[in-house]
Amino acid sequence: MDNLQGKTAFVTGGASGIGFGLAEAFLDQGMNVVIADIEEAALAKAKDQLARRSNAIHSVKLDVTDRDAYARVADEVTRIFGNLHVLCNNAGVASRGLVQNASYDDWDWTLGVNIGGVVNGIRTFLPRMLAHGEPGHIVNTSSMAGLGSSPGNVVYSTSKFAVVGLSEGLRKELSTQGIGVTVLCPAAVKTNFNRSARNRPDGLADTGTELSEEFYQLADKSFEGGTEPREMGEMTVAAIKANAPYVLPHQEMKASYQTKVNEILANWTTEPPDPKRVAANKYRQEAFAKINVKKGG
């Protein structure tokens, strides 16, 4: 998508942080933008701020885990701006703590928003994007935690690894259908992401981890020097135009990922492959090639 002028973007988690930065960058490209968020007060404030840039802005309250609400929002987007061209599955929550202490609610809340929300966005909007046939792009927000896990961050990393895997596979599936896919993998960005438990639903409130205020203060401080959300938006615009598979904005994280890749390669077997197994691989490839697009979707 070389030209975004007049196209329509939908951004979840759009009231703050990276989502707000995406909306700013899209509006500056002359796009129509719909921001969705679960926080009504923040949503109203964000819309007012973005309206100073452009009147091509609309806001909707949305819990990305609510599939029925998602369908209604999709109808609203179509009614107001017509076809959707850029889908940004950006809404996410932070979940910290040791796996041994994680409750089912910890898992369900984190996976429900961070990967379930992405699935719901794709399932709701992708059929519509394919049906109208115009060029499009899907942007999924993961994290550097989706490329490497660390103690105290495993539940979150699990959800973000899934986003990376989904994005990589979806990009290949859609490569001949006019829709690109990019996954964002940032580290620290100047947001209030560490405080996302403020939006945790009462029905999933049972947690196995109680974090101290000292933890939050240190975590918040670690984000103070992070990338400005607007910069993330500009990087994403560039990635959409270039149809880049990844946005990897933080050079300081490259060495740790390189270490991981080296460890993987160092542990790969050195045994020569069985010629029969190699020859049989073609059947798996042929089998997957038989999977066709479902009629009507």
CA neighbor of 44 nearest in space, from 64, 31, 27, 61: 61
- Which of 70, 104, 156, 283 is the catalytic position? 156
CA torsion 84-86-89-91 (nearest 10°) is -90
Copy the structure tokens of residue 98.
Answer: 């040791």
CA neighbor of 204 nearest in space, from 117, 111, 108: 108
Helices (H), the chain: 17-28, 40-51, 67-81, 104-114, 116-132, 154-173, 213-224, 229-242, 254-266, 275-289
| Catalytic annotation present for 257 | no
What number of H helices and E strands is found in the chain?
A: 10, 7
Residue 246: strand, helix, or coil: strand
Cβ atoms of residues 88 and 141 within 8 Å:
yes
Copy the structure tokens of residue 30.
Answer: 């002359």
Active site residues: 156
